[in-house]
Amino acid sequence: MPHFTAPVEDILFSIETLAGAGQLKDWDRELASEIITHFAAFAEGVIAPLNATGHAQGCRLVEDQVQMPDGFRSAFQQLIDMGWQGLTAPEEHGGMEQNALVASAVSEIFSGANLSLQMVCNLVPGAISTLRRFGSAEQQAAWIPKLAAGEVLSTMCLTEPGAGSDLSRIRTKATREGDAWRLSGEKIFISGGDQDLSENILHLVLARTGATEDGVKGLSLFLANKKQAGASISVARIEEKMGLHASPTCQMVFDDCPAELIGEEGTGLMAMFVLMNHARLDVSLQGVALAGHAHRIAKAYADERTQGRRKDGTDAVLSDHADVRRMLDEQRSLEIGARGMAHIAIVEMMRDDRPELVEFLTPLCKVFCTEAGITSANLGIQILGGYGYLTEYGLAQTWADARITAIYEGANGIHENAVSTRGLRIAGGAGADAFDALIEELTDNLHVLDLRERWRKARDFVLNSKDPSQLAHDFAQLSCSLFHRAMCARIADVSPTQEHVRLRDFALARPLPISLNLSC
């Protein structure tokens, strides 16, 4: 198994030079670099070596308790001893209170080193944000310090057997008993629904307090914890998956379980979206991390593997061959372009002066970055040939792990539909207008600006169509392609190295999918 190497310099370049972190009031490059470098060393030395063994061993359900793979408890203990679980938590609650960009860098490195463990640990920042925005002072004081200290890990309990993407079908019921509440129902696909790493688990559960016909307006958000007196939370099974074997995906049963309401009754979906929006950008960076990891494995192999001869008669390596170089360049352009796209979205979120743009960019990043991870892993397998199909080099696991990213936190088709419907109409089209302006802010490359003109015509075509959902995939893919090409052009504009210019030219020369015609 090739050794994992964290792309620290690439990440810092993307955050600062491409996304413009320096414009943020609280950006401290020296501190950010120190934190990111420190975590990278920890990830390379402690977390990454468990990735393959965790995948091979998986999780087990023993007497209603999930047991994590060997070595995971020790790694988690080191993680919390160093304070990493409190990275974004407020200082008054024992955290480091670092910003979203630093957190994004740590999350990307964590994902590339060991996505399964990252999945179990990394819902905590979203849970803390949700508590800070919607929780009472008592709930914040009770839970944020424990989350920051690693005493407690959290989950997000939405999906049910009959309610996947359509949350209006949720049937888990919350019943009031005086000032208290009790939950009864079943949730599925719950990442980290149980584990033996933390002392306790805090479940954020979306449940119905209103009538069924109220749809999403009848949903409220609740806290339920494993150690609470009278808690009746059980794991019915661990799902057997093609990837993420060391991340326990649980089917869970809440049986008249005591719970606390977060925020006001009927506002559960609003509160849950704080968690979900954090998770969607986090998943985008999972795609980036896996795209980069697959490229580094493939490049290291292609630069050493002897195959054929050069024109001068000497032995050639795989990377001497044009088709292999094409695949390596595609991997690399996907990685660096997608990373820049995600960081642009995060900086815009932190600036908070173009919220409609953030809403437009988030689904684009989720779609493009996750598909970049899948494509790069697939290309890596092809570059290594038969060896790529074996487990030895880790690309089979990388592809299997990456494949889920296009499905969870909202299937990519749902995000494409959001771009082409709500995204074009919210605030009178302000999000799409801001995206249009952003492209010109990124680069003055003529190819990109020509593509923007085509995008403008496509936007008008979709807006005037009777059923935009029929055009959603094509329009979202066109938007993703425009954003990515603008990003690759910007990279070459601000850092015209031989590699960056080559990758820009490669990205700009790639044909658009024929389905993107959109009759315009």
- CA-to-CA separations, 117 to 109, 158, 372, 480, 512, in angstroms, rounded: 12, 21, 21, 29, 36
The token pair that represents 471 in the structure block: 């055009």
For the record, the structure tokens of 352 come out as 């908070």
Contact criterion met (CB below 8 Å) for 189 and 180: no
Helix (H, G, I), strand (E, B) or coil at 502: helix
CB 103 within 8 A of CB 155: no
> In this structure, is the dihedral angle defined by the CA atoms of residues 45, 49, 54 and 55, taken in order, positive or negative?
positive
Q: Which residues are catalytic?
A: 409
Q: Which two tokens stand for residue 338?
A: 């997608």
Structural contact between residues 445 and 489, judged by C-beta atoms closer than 8 angstroms: yes
CA angle 101, 104, 110 (to 5 degrees): 150
Q: Cβ(326)–Cβ(320) under 8 Å?
A: no
Number of Cα atoms under 13 Å in the Cβ half of residue 19 = 31
* 86 close to 149: Cβ distance less than 8 angstroms: yes
- Backbone phi, then psi, for 151, in 5-degree steps? -65, -30
Q: Which of 377, 428, 329 is nearest to 319 (CA)?
A: 329
- State the Cα–Cα distance between residues 120 and 406, nearest whole angstrom: 18
- Letter for the amino acid at 421? T
Residues 194, 308: Cα–Cα separation, whole Å: 51
